[in-house]
Amino acid sequence: MMTSSPRRSIPTIDRISNLPDSILCHILSDLPTKQAAATIILSKSWKDVWLSTLALDFDDETFTDFKSFHEFVYSTMFKLRNKKTPIHSFTLKLGNSSRFNQKQFNRMFKFVMERGCVNLDFNMNGKYYVIKIPQRILSFKTLEVLKLTNLEMRDFDQVDFPKLKTLSLDRVKFKSHEYFVKFLFACPVLEDLHTKSIQFHGALLEKENLIALPNLVKVRFNDTHTPMSLVCKAKIFHLEKMSISSAGLPVFHNLTHMELSVHDYHYLYLYVKCTWLLGILQYFPKLQHFIIKDCGESSHTNCFNCWKRPDTAPECISSQLKTCSIQLYRGGEYEFEFVKYIMQHSKVLEKMIVTCLLNNEVLHKLSSCTRGSTRCKLLFG
């Protein structure tokens, strides 16, 4: 009779703790600082690793009260860390319980600035009221990425971001439109710009004939406060939940990718929307990829004979457009005419993507349309 051999015990090996400190620091840099600090219970060798990370990420919502949050931030920054340890990324997210004053803010930002910070995220999203941006931030010459949320930008004499490539402004209030433009001009190498719900104390600039930001690649915004002449050299354009007027619209000579989120409340009749979409395309002569979101049909559909085909197709449709995506297509007359027009006049179109509630009638109607490009594939999502 054979006896079963005893199972061999498999030794537990702490492979992570055996990694070099440089790799451990890289791993912990992706964690909020409170979680990174908690790793000291894993192993003795981890005791000081979290204090050598290149990123600090503080969020007061993860603490029970402001006093404990304040003590953790100050002890981490000014007591525990080696003052020679660089800081490449600094995130500070604060709610309504925060009681930091301007002097304390400036001390923290001065600390990370002196250690070569290149990525700064100052988020006051949880505040019920808007606070003034600490002046120290405006002299961050090492920054490459800057994200500001729920802040007020009042008077400033000089702003200088010579290395800033990515800028995100969410609910930032400026003294005037002129100050907003002045702020953008302080970013000469800016490549990626995202603005949302920008506000002003004063009136908007009447003249928008401004010199374009020379290195801009990507633009995303949901308001009309960013002058189009400033961003007309962009290659990628995302426009959220709004429309743009063709009046005074500059030509975007470099733009190849555009996403528009269009809603019916901007237009009484849907044919106006379709006519507007075709009308603005003349200002994007090199457009290759066009995505239209939230293009649902209005309840006002009693004027089917008002659709007017343009006499000539915009240059981008006839010779540049490779992909076109219509999301939330509902099969209305004007939407059908719009899709049909693009497929018929696009000579190099490769994909027409229509996202809709599929039914045989819609499929058959769109599939029967003639296509100007022999390579065009009609895809449904």
Domain harbouring 367, CATH code: 3.80.10
Q: Which of 203, 224, 245 is the last residue of a domain?
A: 224
The C-alpha angle 150, 155, 156, rounded to 5 degrees, equals 100
Query: What would the two tokens of residue 218 be?
Result: 């990507």
Find out whether 267 and 273 touch, Cβ atoms under 8 Å: yes
For residue 40, is it within any domain? no
> In terms of domains, do 195 and 260 share one?
no
How far is it, in rounded angstroms, from Cα 164 to Cα 88?
14
Question: In angstroms, rounded to a whole number, what is the distance separating the alpha carbons of residues 372 and 58?
Answer: 55
Q: Do residues 132 and 159 share a domain? A: yes
Most confident of 76-80, 144-148, 209-213, 366-370: 144-148
- Which pLDDT belongs to residue 257? 98
In a domain, 14, yes or no: no
Where do we find the tokens 């100052």?
122
Residues 243, 373, single domain; the answer is yes
Provide the pLDDT for residue 337. 86
Between CA 154 and CA 15, with CA 88 as vertex, the angle to 5 degrees is: 145
Q: Let me know if residue 44 belongs to a domain.
A: no
Question: Are residues 290 and 214 located together in one domain of the fold?
Answer: no
What is the pLDDT, as a whole number, of residue 9?
A: 52
Residues 249 and 139 occupy one common structural domain: no
Q: Which of 199, 224, 249 is the last residue of a domain?
A: 224
Within a domain: 130 = yes
Average pLDDT score over residue span 182-207: 86
**Same domain, residue pair 211 and 331:** no
Q: Given this model, what pLDDT does residue 277 score? A: 81
pLDDT at 279: 82
Say if residue 5's pLDDT is above 80: no
Please report whether residue 95 resides in a domain: yes
Same domain flag for 78 and 131: yes
pLDDT in tens, 263-295: 654 443 444 667 778 888 999 999 999 998 865
CA distances from 126 to 17, 129, 136 (A): 37, 9, 22
In a domain, 125, yes or no: yes
Determine contact, residues 327/292, Cβ cutoff 8 Å. yes
The predicted structure's pLDDT at residue 217: 98
Mean pLDDT value across the chain: 84
Q: What is the DSSP string of 286-352?
A: T--EEEEES-PPPS----GGG----SS--HHHHHT--EEEEEEE---HHHHHHHHHHHHH-SS--EE
pLDDT at residue 270, rounded to an integer: 47
Q: Where is the domain boundary, 224, 254, 270?
A: 224
Looking at the 3D structure of the chain, how many domains does it have? 2
One domain for residues 110 and 219 = yes
- 213 shares a domain with 253: no
Kindly state whether residue 28 falls inside one of the protein's structural domains: no
What does pTM read for this prediction?
0.86
Q: Is the dihedral of CA 280, 281, 286, 292 positive or negative?
A: positive
Measured in degrees and rounded to the nearest 5, phi and psi for residue 293 equal -105, 155
Residue 181 and residue 329 share a domain: no
113 and 248 share a domain? no
Indicate whether 208 and 240 sit together in one domain.
no
Q: What angle do CA 320, 321, 322 make, to 5 degrees?
A: 110
Which range marks the domain in which residue 349 is found? 235-381
| pLDDT confidence of residue 299 | 42
For the chain, list the strands marked E by DSSP: 55-59, 89-95, 119-126, 131-132, 145-153, 166-174, 192-196, 199-200, 218-221, 236-239, 257-261, 289-293, 323-329, 351-356, 377-380
**Dihedral through CA 207, CA 178, CA 138, CA 87, nearest 10?**
-40
Let me know: does 74 contact 107? Beta carbons within 8 Å. Answer: no
Report yes or no on 327 lying in a domain. Answer: yes
* pLDDT at position 17: 58
